[in-house]
Structure 1
Amino acid sequence: MRWVYVQMTSRVPHSPLGRIITRRAAQAIEEALSDTRVVLVIGARQSGKSTLVADIGRSVSARWLSLDDSQTRKAAEFDLSGFVRQARPLIIDEVQRVPDLMLSIKAAVDEDGRPGHFLLTGSARVMGLRSVPDALPGRMETIELWPLSQGEIDGGTDSFVDLAFAEEGLLGVYHQSAEPRAGYMERLSRGGFPEAVARTGKRRARFFSSYIADLINRDVMQLAEIQRAPEMRALVKLLAARSGQLLQLRTIGTELGLSHQTVQRYVGLLEEVFVVKRIPPWSRNLTTRAVATPKVMMVDSGIAAHQCGMSTQTLSKPGPHAGGLLENFVVSEIARQLSWSEEDVEMFHLRTRDQVEVDIVLENRRGQVVAIEVKAADTVSGDDFRGLRYLHDRLGDDLLAGVVLYTGTQTLPFGPKFRAMPIAALWEL
């Protein structure tokens, strides 16, 4: 059977914001298409994958096929080989819906080794799914797309990570920001999903409620055939409330009435569909007293705030509730930058059995470290640098900088290697 499509068979998506926002990942996708046969863009539903790849696809006259469309999906399942042997470049949206397509794509690109044949998207970690054959090693590049960063929303630079590891680094930077505390709380509760950014008030809350319910009832159920959706929803709420805390599986299981093995499986599923992310513990064998437990964060701070019942107004009031959510917001913004930064950097956290903590430890391949603390306050004191100084004492010159990000407006020195900086430096620098 020979397939001939003279037009796109599924509706190409448009941005809910009414405008196309320049995404930092676009350059990486275009570069990958220039030398790689298959490019896969993965990320959370509603993060803008389809809009981005459609925009890129228009520039190369690619055909668009979405497996979220039932008729298109049936056609793919009926004739896997014929489906992928259409005119190319070919965009296949939500490819995880028909996992066996991967073998047909492999056969197609093995026949013709030229780059840029297939641009795929997936709302789950496609190659990690049990139902997806490991068909494309050496033939495919995977690019992760997060929800919008603050710099993408504002048109800022989002260059904090690259600047932190540049030759000049952060220590020679003086940044002053006009962002007020209430502004940070609005950004936190809004998050980065385009639909949420485009809405306000009850309509935004309605989006968040529907998003989690639909994701569990659709994607999570498809991945694992879980029958107890209420338990999964309860776990999402609990993990949101524990943003920035250690992932204690037994404690969570006791609270939910589940075994820690079940909690571990459920958390893994939530990672596969980009609801949560684990931040691994950092260690360079400097101490045997480091706690080898990951932290958990929500991929989007707006989802986290909504699941905790927090709005911009409640977060702006004095109290301890903003701390973990603000740390989640900062971690998620840095994680976005790591997906496109020129510097190859990994993110960790540190906690010792002596209760010394560092919220974020960034380390490049040369072993250089930038350590970050997050503080939900307008002022900073020397005590806020305790964990950063602990690292400096053990790393010496390998610690490039220790930074406390806070809701104040000025950059302030706290010693040769230490600075307090406004959180907005993440996207304004």
Structure 2
Amino acid sequence: MERSDAGQISRIRAMVEVYREVIVQDLSSLVAIESVTFNEGRAVRFLADKMRTYGYDEVRIDPVGNVLGRVGHGPRVILYDAHIDTVSLGDEKEWEYPPLSGQLAGGAIHGRGACDDKGCLMGITWAGRIVKELGLANHVTLWVSGSVSEEAVTGASVEAMLKENFDIKPDFVLVAEASGLRIMRGHKGRALLQFLVPGKAAHASAAWRGDNALVKALPIIKAIDDYQDFPEDPFLGKGSIEVTCLECKTPSLNTIPGQVIITCDRRTAANESLEDLLMEARCLDQDIEGVEIRVNTEHVKTYSGYEIEMVDYLPSWVLPENHPLVQAGVETFRDLFSNEPVITKWSFCTNATHFCGRLGIPSIGFGPGDEAFCHSNRDRVQVDEYLKAIQFYAALPLYVSKHAE
């Protein structure tokens, strides 16, 4: 570690320690704000107020409803993104700690979204304050975004964010999601494929007058379940396909269905295009006449009323381990924690599917939290991990500047 880097690292550590109590309380307060998908407005305003209090150079809430804050005005643009929305609370009686308590217990902050994704979100927001107060943004522009609706339309809100905020053109992106403080350099993609199996509705007592679409769908379901001929990527592994929903179009339970829709979750390895997936799916339709294959399309409105249409195809992404951004992350981790980081991949999809998978912007992922707690009634984030993540987020711009030269 160079002497100048060591000095900056020491200042970052010291500032996190000085503000430790406030940093923890801010996350607790954010967790206590309900922000289920399409109801993030109050949390957005909370974060915007925090960014202003923290001294950000610019704060905006865009038409989509995302909140963005800027620190610095250097030539190299770095974007940190974490999503504000959470899944629903579920049965509150099944929680050990109330889901909107933000309670500190056993060295962790508990509640819905603590792990997914508010620990990361508050972490990058606090990192912006540290970068600002310590003057670490001399050569970079750091944007911190709290994005909405990720749980429903992954990648779509940040796609809209970059269209609406056309002046923000990131050179590098860090997606802050739970990673257990491991550096993530990729994840599989996903498509929601649908097989529309035709039939003819008829009363069940006179089924010969119709054509039972459900019975016709069974060989297709079996073929999907048996299918194993997926491309394999040395880093991401093999793709997969699973039947996740069977929808019968029938007016009553004593009517044979006139149409069945089979929905499948298809996980993709590297370099599998949407056209590849549709061609593969056509091989699974068992030559049943009239079967239509399509990709599901989502139509949603964000809490601000912004309309989004998203085709349910999320490309995979991989950043080479020797890429300057990955190596900047490695050196940041090493200098902060005197240890070698684990470099790996996520098992789930994130907004990096748009930043890196679609736009090709170099991206990595990093965050506190064990993904096993995501979406569960044990949702929590360890305080020590949360504080370490803030140190990493605050220090990374220094190393990006060095490695990207």
The structure with the largest alpha-carbon Rg is 2
Q: Normalising to structure 1: TM-score of the pair?
A: 0.23
Q: Normalising to structure 2: TM-score of the pair?
A: 0.24
